[in-house]
Amino acid sequence: MKDTDGCGGGISTITLNERGNKYMRLFKHTSKHNTAGRKPAGNEENGKQYRTINVVGREIALSPKNIVKAVLLCFLVLFLALVIYSVFAIVTAPKIDTAKIYETLSENSTIYDASGKKVDSVYSGENRTNARYNDMPDNLINAYIALEDKTFKTHHGFNFIRILGAIKESVFGGGKVGGTSTITQQLARNVYLKTRMSERSLNRKVVEAWYTLKLENNLSKKQIIEAYLNTIYLGFNSWGVESASEAYFQKRPKDLSLEQCAALAALPQSPTNLALVNLLDKDAKPKPSSILKRTSSGIYVINDISKERRETCLKLMLEQKYITRAQYEKAVKVPLRSMLKPNYHMNDSTIAYFTDYTVAKVIKDLQKKEKLSYDEAWDKVYKGGLKIYSTMDKKAQKTIQKEFKNNGNFPSITNINYDSNNNILNKYGKVALYSLGNYIKNGRFTFKSNEIKDNSDGSVTIKANKRLKIYNTSVNGKTDYSLEFPAMYKWKDGKLNSISGGYINIPQQYKQRDDNGNVIVSARFMQSKEGKQTFQKVGGKYSIPKSSYSINQGVVQPQAAMTIVENSTGEIKAMVGGRKTKGKLLYNRAVEPRQPGSSIKPLGVYAPALQQGAEEAAAGKTHNFVNYNIDRQGAQGWGNHITAGSVVMDERTTNNGRVWPYNAGSGYSGRNTLRSAIRNSINTCAYKIWMQVGQQYSTKMVKKFGISTVVTKGRVNDNNAAALALGGMSKGVTTLEMANAYTTFPNNGVRAEEPICYTKVVDADGKTLLTKSSRSTRVLNSDVAWIMADLMKGVVSGGTGTAANVYGTRAGGKTGTTSNQYDIWFDGFTPKYSAALWIGNDINISLTSMSGYAAALWGKIMNQIPSAKTGSYKAQPHSVQYVGGEYYAKGTYSYSNYVSPEEILRRKQEEEKKRREKDKPKMGANSSGNKAKKPN
């Protein structure tokens, strides 16, 4: 320990034993210095001569009495310093109210919706449900007391005998002081010092002691043990015994058996390592004997590391007379697997798509602002007790989820082509999905004779280019050879379920690959217990049981995704990236691109055309129309600019000499305006307008709308009408970006640069870590945006999107269907919200319906969201002109009256006929002009 050397001079770091030996040597030394004929040095006290030291000009004898006084004085000074320091630490420590301990417990990592209410069933750092003392069985309470703090019922916060024993063990055993915390101390630490638990400082220990005393003085023992059992982390994402009981055993605490109580009591020492069940990544390869279940979330495995501690708990309960010998003997024999009944869906979030997206954004923003690594930011979000205030409209989120569960809202799958083995083929005749029955029968995968071969050394060779796919992968930096199942399918309840594959579980160290690409499984593995469990002989063939392979979760088809964004703020109000899926960190289709079909037309064709005209008019220019020889209209009849009233002929068009594109219906409708072309989604008209606008301007505008997936470089790109006019884009678009893009129309031409999913993040101490608001960017002139919104309202009121009608307001939007009906869309808006909805299959298989299903589902969802029907549209800008029943941006109106060549010819023929009729002599008249006489 540190002490002052005689209270004089500097700080010395000598032990008390060393100090005593030093003073004894001094004492003995001074007694030998009285030699004859010389006056002894030093000072005399009580007739004895002692060596002296000078302290601030005064000679003090080093007598035993003075030494004792000095030591006592030093201890007094140290004690007073410690008292002063402790008082300071206590005074400056955060104030706590032990009566509100459960309010403190609620300050965990939590996501709130836009109204500030906690979102239920959201994954947070602490999955906790509080239990009351009366609902906790005696065995559970006694198990913790026996193992953690046997004097709990009698001490006043501290176990001094245990502390002294630990110090003694530390001094004589050479270890460090540990394991002295009582249950009350642990509670103080768990509740009030969560952010300082790893801190080793005197300040933290003083504050912890102070909080411990306050807990003991203000709460009863029952309240303390109740709070303690509700605060401790017990692994498997479970905080408190209520949550842990449900997670491990699917029971309430009051229903736990003795051995289950002991199993939970064994966990607080190291809950992450000792957790009874672990969830591993889907690609992990645990021992087959440890596997409990394979799910879409990952692989659940049993973890019995805590067995010895569990047995110790039962033994201590016996010694402390909480249980009888018979109870002990019975409980200690129960294996962990037989007492477990894990809840594999406990941590599934019903709104995982939104919350996963939000958490990912918060982590990214924390990394950037606080200069953290990904792991540090991840820990802060998942373990730091943050409050994340999201932008979610809970009603909107729940409504989408509810309607996505209803199979009646989705079209069927048509035109499925099978090969002779019942595998599903794509349009090129290649296998898209293998039949699950061709791989798994009666729960087993059985090798065919040409797929595997026994070798003379006891190993086996699994042949390449057969049913199993062999891939080179990496595990812990070492090369592995993965034996994987391909994408498969099964029919369930009349619905197609796609399966993204799976793998056979063989540890990396037992595999190698030969020159032919085959995988050799070593004889060592084949002869091991695990190998014999994996490769079983059934009917003379090698067969892999269910415990040794993994098949991914079947996903119902068709799938869907939807995102809703608030027009004025850019806040994401709802996001659902799939239907009938479970788990967390799922494949989020809301942010994965798919081809948009005709829903791209407002962004790539019609809005660019009107905006280009407004810019030209403002510059005093007219549009330079070009005859591209793709149709008969050419450059005629458009007017000075492309406007909502411009005449566009729906007629046969060509591209590179072939007829293209085709309309959804048969034939051509002839004379249209831009308004009727968008209302009826006429492909030829969109193509012709896009050609006049130009590829470069169209691409620029699509990017301004916030579509980041436009491909402009490379051999396969989107620099063409098929992509930007009809939606056959190389990568496609996401529902998130499309919803945000469509906010431009009802929001006076402005959209958010990036939609936001949260507004604020606060830490456990109330400090604001992050704030978020959207920055806006202008895309269109306000008059152009207003006219576009009006045009798109016509799509819903009388065009292809009538099924998307929203009662109580006037919605606008655009349908979209891709070629072969692989993807169907409806993207639209109300005064408050814009939303994009996609329906399609994860693999390209045609649907039975075009975009009408998407429009109907969009309308069905939006009609159930109160906020979607509130508010009003922006007022008509003064720069919008109304002429002849149509709206025009300022300066763009001009007479547009295309006359086709046939009409010109017809008119000429009519005029010629009239001229000839006029010049022809009247029949029956004589030269004198007299009437002819009636013959007799």
**Joined tokens for residue 647:** 């005449």
- 343 and 470 housed in the same domain: no
Q: What is the pLDDT of residue 643?
A: 98
Specify the CATH number for the domain of residue 736: 3.40.710.10
Cβ atoms within 10 Å of 309's Cβ, excluding its own? 17
Nearest-angstrom CA–CA distance, 355 and 347: 13
**Domain around 324:** 98-347
Q: What are the angstrom distances between the C-alpha of 106 and each of 100, 110, 118, 821, 935?
A: 10, 9, 10, 49, 118
- 567 and 548 housed in the same domain: no
Residue with tokens 């400056």: 92
DSSP notation for 255-273: G--HHHHHHHHTSTTSHHH
Q: What is the pLDDT of residue 29?
A: 45
**Joined tokens for residue 659:** 């007829």
- 102 and 73 housed in the same domain: no
Residue 903 lies in a domain: no
- 109 and 78 housed in the same domain: no
- Segment (H or E) for 223: helix 221-231
Specify the CATH number for the domain of residue 292: 1.10.3810.10
Nearest-angstrom CA–CA distance, 839 and 562: 9
Antiparallel, parallel or unpaired: β 488-492 and 431-435? parallel
- 649 and 544 housed in the same domain: no
- 114 and 72 housed in the same domain: no
Radius of gyration of the chain from its Cα atoms, rounded to whole angstroms: 41
Q: What is the pLDDT of residue 174?
A: 47
Contacts of 495 (CB under 8 A, 6+ apart): 407, 556, 557
- 333 and 427 housed in the same domain: no
- 220 and 162 housed in the same domain: yes
Residue 931 lies in a domain: no
Residue 905 lies in a domain: no
Looking from the CA of 357 toward its CB, the CA atoms found within 13 Å total: 24
Residue 838 lies in a domain: yes
Residue 13 lies in a domain: yes
Q: What is the pLDDT of residue 900?
A: 74
Nearest-angstrom CA–CA distance, 824 and 821: 7
- 724 and 863 housed in the same domain: yes
Domain boundary among 92, 110, 133: 92
φ, ψ (nearest 5 deg) of residue 445: -100, 120
What is the mean pLDDT, run by run of 10 residues, along the chain of 936 residues? 39 41 46 44 56 65 73 80 69 71 61 85 55 93 93 78 49 47 84 64 74 84 91 88 91 95 94 91 84 82 95 96 96 95 71 90 95 85 83 96 95 91 93 96 96 97 96 82 96 93 93 96 96 94 94 93 98 96 81 98 99 98 97 95 97 96 91 97 98 99 99 97 98 99 99 98 90 97 99 98 97 96 97 99 91 97 98 98 97 86 79 84 52 43
Domain boundary among 324, 347, 370: 347
Total structural domains in the chain? 4
Contacts of 533 (CB under 8 A, 6+ apart): 288, 289, 545, 547, 548
DSSP notation for 862-903: HTT-GGGG-S-PPPPPTT-EEETTEEE-TT---------HHH
Q: What is the pLDDT of residue 211?
A: 78
Looking from the CA of 537 toward its CB, the CA atoms found within 13 Å total: 4
Nearest-angstrom CA–CA distance, 584 and 350: 9
Domain boundary among 287, 319, 347: 347
Compute the CA torsion angle 800, 806, 810, 814 (nearest 10 deg).
Answer: -30
Q: What is the pLDDT of residue 430?
A: 94
Beta strands in 545-642 (DSSP E): 549-551, 554-556, 559-566, 572-576
φ, ψ (nearest 5 deg) of residue 748: 60, 30
Q: What is the pLDDT of residue 111?
A: 87
Residue 537 lies in a domain: yes
- 546 and 637 housed in the same domain: no
Q: What is the pLDDT of residue 204?
A: 67
- 605 and 666 housed in the same domain: yes
Residue with tokens 């605060």: 231
Residue 146 lies in a domain: yes
Residue 12 lies in a domain: yes
- 338 and 434 housed in the same domain: no
Q: What is the pLDDT of residue 296?
A: 62
